[in-house]
Each structure stands twice: as C-alpha cells, then as structure tokens.
C-alpha cells in the first residue's frame, strides 16, 4: 500500500521511568512500537523512540510527523517532581488557626503506597516533607460553617499582609484553601483578588490559585494538596510539555499535543487543571482494553499489567471502568478522579530473597528496575531477581533481551541463584528458580481473584487481558485455574499503555461537591430545590469545561457535554457515578428519572435485591464531562493464514523447565506469525519487547486482530 493512501495517523507515548515507548498507528491499523532509554531531556527520548519505531517501516521522523493527526503523551516527569520535592516554591493561605494541617497531613499519608507489612507496622510509617513549608504558610481570620454560612467575615487586611510577606520572601505562586470553601466561595475569591492586587502593586507576576476555582469539593487535605500541586508541579511541567510540543513542531508535527489524565480522558497540555496528568501510565492500558472491548465485543474485562516493578489490575464491567473519586498519588491524598486500579508491588523484576528466620522465599517489595538482575553484570545488581529465574529456566532468551540491547550472563545468574536461594533451601537451582516463579504467579493469581470476587463477580464472567512487558510471560501462570472466559494477549502487549493513551477521548471532567438528601418525607419544594441545586452545579461546571476547550480553539457547539452525578442510598457509605439520563433538569418532575437511573445502575453493579430505596436518596457530587471528536487508532484486521505457522517464523527449540522437568520448547518469532496460526505448548513466542510463554498443557492461536488467545487444555 502506498504511503500517501496509508498515512501514519496516531501516536501514543508512554515516557516511563525506565523506557520511553512510542506507538505509531497507520490508517489501516498496522502499528509499530518504538523504545528508547528515558532521558532527562524528554523531547529527545520521544524523538529517539520514534526513530526506533519508524525504522520498522523504513520511514523518518521528519517524514511521518507532518502527516499525523493526533498524539497523546503520558509520562512520569511531574510525578518525579513531586516525589523529589523539586517544585515551584509556593505560598499557602489558610483559615487562621489551621496553618499546621498541611504539614501534619492525613495519617494515611504516612503509609500510602507501602507494601502490606509496612502499612501495619508503625515503625515504618513516615511523613514526607510537606509541599509547602510552614514558613510559607499564613492564616487569615475568617470562618464559614459546615452549612456554608459566614460565621466570621474575612479580614482582608490580613490577606493583604500575608500576600505581601509570601511574595516578599520569595514564593513564586500562592495557593488559597479556606475551610468549607466548597460551600461558600466568597471568602476564597475575595482573598484571591487581594493577592492578585498585592502582586500587581509589588510589580511581580505570580499565579494565584484558589481551591474553589479548581476543586470545589469537600475534604480539606485532599482539596488543598491538589490545589498546591497545580502551583507546585503542574506549572513547571507545563513548560516541559511546551518544549516537547515545540520539538514536535520543529520536525513538522501539526497536531495538538494531549496528555493522559487520571480520569481516563486526555487533556491539552494547556489545560487549566493540569495536576490530573500527574498519574497516567498504568491508566493507558485500561483505556486501551475498554476500547478494544467495545470494538471486538468483550464487555467484561479483567485488565492485568505486569511491568518490572508492579502488577496493576482493573475491572471493566459492561464496557465501563470505575472511577475512584479521591485518588492518591505520590503519597498524597488528592481530590482527583482516578481510574480505579489495584496495584501490588510485585513484578517481573522483583528481588528474590530468603527470609533467614522462616527459611522461605520472599519477593520484593523492591525490584531491580532497569538494572534487570544479576544476569546483567553491567547493571551492578547483586541480589537475585525474578528475571534471573526466567533466564536460567529458558523462559527468556538471554541473547534477545530487549531485542538484544543487553548482553546477559546466564552462568552468573545461575551461580547467584545457587548461592542465594537454592543452597540455603537445599534445592536444585532449577527447582529453586521454578519455585520463585510459582510463588510470584500464585501471589498474582490470588490478588487477581480477590479483586474480582471481592466485588461480587466471578472470573467466569470476564475475559482477562494480559499486557505490559511481563504480562505475556506470566499470563498462563496467574490465570491458570481461575476460570476466565478467555485469556487474551495482544501482540503489542509491551506498548499497550501507549496504545491505550492513543485511544482515549479528548475529554475534560470537572467535579463539584453538593449536599442533597431526599426521602419519602421530603416535600415537593425540597425536591425542586434539590434539582435546582444540581442544575446550578452543572451550569457552573459546564462553564469550566467549555472554557478549557476554548483554550484549544474548539467552539462550544463542537463539545459533547455529559452531565453526571454521584448518588447513594442515604446512610450508605459508597456512592455510584451515573451519567444523567437528562441533559438539563427542568424541575422537580425530573427527580424520579435521576432516581430510576441510579436504581438501575445499582442493580447492575451489585444486585437487584441489594437495592434499598426505603432509605431515601442522596446526591454527593455533580460531574460534568465534555469531549470532542478525535482520531483514534484502527485495529488491524489481517487475513487468516491457516493453523500452521510458517517455516520462517519457527526459530528452533530451547530447553524449558516446567513442572520439575526439562522439555524442548518451540521458539517462534512473534512478528512472523499469521492470523489463524495455532501453537501448542511448550512454546515461547519472542518479540523485541516482550516474550509470550505457552507452557505444556496450554495452546494459543492468533486472531485476525493480532490478539493471541491462550487456552488451557
């Protein structure tokens, strides 16, 4: 097919801590994956990775970038800025008497992100440095009560003094977060205007962030942390993204760079609320799985992503993923909507140690990361990793690790496993290494099962998608015996997160807390007030969403708006997010429709019998999502080539250790397999970026969309 008729249209980028992946998709759905070592200069890594990818098509960056229509970026630079406390010096103004709450933090922040053992042991708990130093914090006398009434009027002369001091001592931004401001914004806005005035008088230009302008939601710590992040980390990151965008323009790119955001949509790098792009990497995979599911007819999907350091799981039910409203990231509680995921700190590169007291194998929680394991002498690692075990058992090809970039020393890995694991346990090297892999698979399997059954589902209702660099290696192990409908490994598993980013909608989402409660005893007037409150919140949020799109040059009529709300039975703790059945609420007569929609969703998510309408209904939050049409990747469709893999795809055989014996596994080249090809285990299917293991007792076939289906015989 000629290049003009089949241009490269979509680019997804996943700039991780170790590797920067790029995923290019052509109009016909064909794709290439590129990899480059991540770099402090992110735009350079992106271009290098692009060159690596496009080389597969014999094309150049300068040639391809001008023909692309969409590009989505996800990266960890902003996260690193927060974790390393290298943000912009920010001043904080709070209600007087509450100056210490930010540095005290919520107790949960002392153990967020920890392994289970460290969460339950107090001596490992630790509070990170606050984002804003106490010396850069000021209190202003004022008080709004929990109903939104002004109890103490705001003393603006104090705000003036505070702003002058903060700017005077070198703060580059000011954040304002007052008690209960989500119920009454007057004080915060007045303080905000005073700060701007003072900055003008002092002749400096600094941004001022009032929490109500960004996150008018309950929970002080969450709201304050998130607003601080806008000033502290998002503003500097905007500059970085601007540089990447510029470097793409230099090579001819004419698309608008978008960033993956925690709520599962993508936003412009010019977005007002940029803090939500803090976390994005693992979310891409979930979005990609949902996209594939919608196209190919899988509505319930268990997503599983194994990278070098962690195992991330998420559930898609009836083509929807759940949103966690107060996500946490970088050990901070935040008011950001976050695609709900479960993560455990065990991955393909986890360290393996012996607990000398229990004499048992212990995995992680730390991992070798990009240093691989003892099998890579240049990495300087002396502790055995899971990868070492895979190498000596024939699962991975030591000569083709990451496409042969790294030369691995199998003998060194064998010696280290013998010394550190096998000898202390009195096992052969093979049995010790197989034990490690079995333990990892078992632990992943238990977590996967717990996540599904814990929500009241059965694995038999789900198709399991397995991706990430380590997914295809472990897919058989952690799905074995769970009873999934099917286990699917995309041929582009290693670039799946980058692919997922490219499939995400261009979507903004704004949230606002509301307090609505309606029972049997409520009057018609109460109901009318309730609908009016919700509609007023939607109106406010709609303005914000449309403003974001205007920044990117979209007209209001191009934006599809989806209002939503969080509803719960009064007295219950958890709410559900519902897309509103009505675009606009005209009055009390519409209330029942909101309730019906909630009841239906509740029955679908839990069960009919679990519904509790007698409790009455509460609405806790208003949501507004707006999206515009974007170009998404096409999924490849290739002709069937029959069950027999071609001769050139068969690379030979290799000894492979499984269930206490060595067998000869057939080795295939993934890129050369054709749809319809069937392969019986033991087999190992290799590609540059990942390895797909099919042990004895399993078989697999490749379908027309380049998805491998793993079947337990």
Partner 1 sequence: MSTYTKKQVSDLVKGDLDWDTLHRMLSMPKDKERYSHYISVLQEQVDWDDRIILPLGPHLFLAETGEDKSLVTKCECGYEYGDYQKNWKLNALIYVRDSEEKMQQVYPKLMAPDTGWQVYREYYCPSCGTMHDVEAPTPWYPVIHDFQPDLKAFFDWLDLPAPVNA
Sheet with 8-15: list strands edge to edge.
31-37, 19-26, 8-15, 70-75, 257-260, 266-268, 506-518, 617-628, 560-569, 576-579
Choose between 14 and 416: whose C-beta lies nearer to partner 1: 416
Choose between 111 and 269: whose C-beta lies nearer to partner 1: 111
Burial category of 46 from C-beta neighbours within 10 Å (exposed 0-12, middle 13-18, buried 19 and up): buried
Sign of the dihedral defined by the CA atoms of residues 519, 524, 527, 529, in that order:
negative
CB atoms within 10 A of CB 713: 8
Closest by alpha carbon to 479, among 678, 303, 282, 605? 303
Choose between 115 and 402: whose C-beta lies nearer to partner 1: 115
Choose between 268 and 420: whose C-beta lies nearer to partner 1: 420
Minimum CB–partner distance for residue 351 and partner 1 (Å)? 9
285 within 8 A of 301, measured Cβ to Cβ: no
- Which residues in this chain contact partner 1 in the complex, by CB under 8 A? 115, 117-118, 121, 123-124, 126, 353-357, 362, 365-366, 383, 420
Choose between 362 and 654: whose C-beta lies nearer to partner 1: 362
H-only helix segments in 75-155: 77-83, 101-104, 116-120
Choose between 119 and 196: whose C-beta lies nearer to partner 1: 119
Minimum CB–partner distance for residue 111 and partner 1 (Å)? 11
Closest by alpha carbon to 149, among 204, 95, 187? 187
Residue 217 to residue 172: CA distance in whole angstroms: 25
Secondary structure of 277-345 in the HEC alphabet?
HCCCHHHHHHHHHHHHHHHHCCCCEEEEEECCCCEEEEEEECCEECEECCCEECCEECCCCEECCEEEC
Phi (first) and psi of residue 464, to 5 degrees: -100, 125
Q: Pick left, alpha or beta for residue 135 (phi over 0 → left; psi -120 to 50 → alpha; otherwise beta).
A: alpha
621 within 8 A of 575, measured Cβ to Cβ: yes
388 within 8 A of 413, measured Cβ to Cβ: yes
Choose between 344 and 498: whose C-beta lies nearer to partner 1: 344
Minimum CB–partner distance for residue 101 and partner 1 (Å)? 22
Choose between 373 and 618: whose C-beta lies nearer to partner 1: 373
Residue 474 to residue 390: CA distance in whole angstroms: 10
HSE-CB at 359 with a 13 A cutoff on CA atoms is 6
Q: To which H or E segment does residue 667 belong? A: strand 661-669
Count of all residues that appear for the chain in the document: 713
Cα-only R_g, the chain: 27
Minimum CB–partner distance for residue 85 and partner 1 (Å)? 13
Choose between 295 and 419: whose C-beta lies nearer to partner 1: 419
Choose between 123 and 574: whose C-beta lies nearer to partner 1: 123
Residue 586 to residue 237: CA distance in whole angstroms: 42
Choose between 124 and 243: whose C-beta lies nearer to partner 1: 124
Minimum CB–partner distance for residue 483 and partner 1 (Å)? 35
């Amino acid at each position: 097919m000629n290049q003009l008729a089949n241009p490269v249209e979509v680019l997804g980028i996943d700039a991780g801590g170790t590797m920067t992946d790029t995923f290019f998709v052509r109009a016909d759905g064909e794709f290439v994956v590129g990899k480059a070592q991540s770099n402090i200069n992110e735009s350079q890594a992106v271009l290098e990775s692009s060159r690596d990818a496009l080389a597969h098509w014999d094309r150049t960056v300068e040639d391809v970038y001008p023909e692309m229509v969409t590009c989505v970026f996800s990266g960890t630079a902003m996260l690193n800025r927060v974790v390393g406390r290298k943000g912009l010096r920010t001043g904080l103004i709070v209600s007087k008497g509450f100056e210490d709450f930010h540095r005290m933090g919520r107790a949960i922040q002392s153990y967020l992100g920890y392994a289970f053992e460290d969460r339950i042991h107090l001596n490992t708990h630790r509070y990170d440095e606050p984002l804003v130093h106490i010396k850069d914090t000021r209190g202003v006398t004022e008080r709004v009560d929990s109903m939104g009434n002004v109890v103490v009027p705001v003393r603006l002369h104090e705000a003036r003094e505070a702003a002058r001091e903060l700017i005077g001592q070198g703060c580059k931004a000011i954040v304002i977060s007052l008690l209960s401001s989500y119920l009454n914004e007057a004080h915060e806005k007045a303080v905000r205007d005073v700060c701007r005035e003072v900055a003008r008088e002092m002749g400096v230009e600094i941004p001022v962030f009032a929490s109500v302008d960004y996150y008018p939601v309950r929970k002080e710590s969450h709201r304050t942390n998130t607003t601080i992040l806008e000033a502290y980390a998002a503003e500097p990151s905007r500059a970085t993204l601007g540089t990447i965008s510029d470097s793409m323009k230099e090579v001819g790119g004419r698309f608008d760079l978008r960033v993956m955001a925690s709520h599962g949509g993508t936003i412009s790098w010019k977005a007002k609320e940029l803090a939500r792009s803090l976390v994005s990497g693992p979310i891409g995979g979930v979005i990609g799985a949902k996209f594939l599911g919608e196209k190919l007819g899988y509505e319930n999907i268990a997503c599983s992503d194994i990278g070098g350091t962690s195992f991330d799981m998420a559930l898609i039910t009836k083509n929807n993923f759940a949103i966690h409203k107060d996500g946490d990231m970088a050990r901070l509680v935040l008011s950001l909507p976050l695609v709900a995921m479960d993560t455990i700190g065990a991955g393909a590169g986890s360290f393996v140690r012996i607990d000398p007291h229990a004499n048992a194998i212990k995995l992680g929680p730390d991992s070798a990361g990009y240093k691989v394991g003892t099998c890579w002498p240049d990495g300087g690692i002396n502790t055995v990793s899971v990868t070492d075990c895979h190498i000596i058992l024939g699962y991975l090809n030591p000569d083709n690790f990451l496409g042969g970039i790294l030369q691995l020393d199998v003998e060194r890995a064998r010696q280290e496993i013998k010394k550190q694991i096998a000898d202390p346990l009195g096992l052969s090297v093979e049995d010790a290494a197989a034990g490690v892999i079995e333990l990892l698979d078992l632990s992943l399997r238990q977590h996967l099962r717990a996540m599904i059954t814990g929500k009241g589902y059965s694995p038999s209702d789900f198709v399991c998608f397995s991706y990430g660099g380590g997914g295809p290696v472990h897919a058989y192990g952690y799905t074995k015996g769970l009873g999934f409908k099917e286990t699917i490994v995309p041929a582009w598993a290693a670039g799946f997160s980058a692919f997922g980013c490219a499939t995400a909608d261009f979507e903004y989402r704004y949230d606002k807390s509301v307090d609505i409660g309606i029972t049997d005893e409520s009057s018609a007037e109460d109901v009318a007030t309730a609908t009016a409150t919700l509609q007023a919140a939607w109106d406010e949020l709609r303005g914000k969403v449309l403003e974001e799109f205007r920044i990117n040059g979209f007209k209001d009529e191009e934006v599809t708006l989806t209002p939503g709300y969080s509803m719960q039975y009064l007295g219950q703790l958890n709410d559900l997010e519902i897309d509103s059945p009505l675009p606009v609420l005209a009055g009390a007569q519409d209330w029942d429709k909101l309730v019906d929609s909630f009841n239906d969703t509740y029955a679908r998510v839990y069960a009919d019998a679990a519904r509790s309408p007698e409790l009455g209904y509460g609405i806790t939050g208003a949501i507004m999502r707006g999206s515009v049409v974007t170009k998404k990747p096409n999924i490849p469709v290739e002709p069937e080539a029959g069950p027999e893999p071609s001769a050139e795809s068969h690379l030979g055989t290799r000894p492979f250790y499984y269930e206490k014996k060595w067998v000869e596994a057939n080795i295939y080249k993934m890129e050369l397999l054709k749809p319809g090809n069937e392969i019986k285990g033991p087999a190992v299917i290799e590609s540059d970026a990942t390895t797909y293991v099919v042990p004895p007792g399993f078989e697999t076939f490749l379908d027309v969309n380049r998805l491998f289906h793993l079947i337990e015989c």
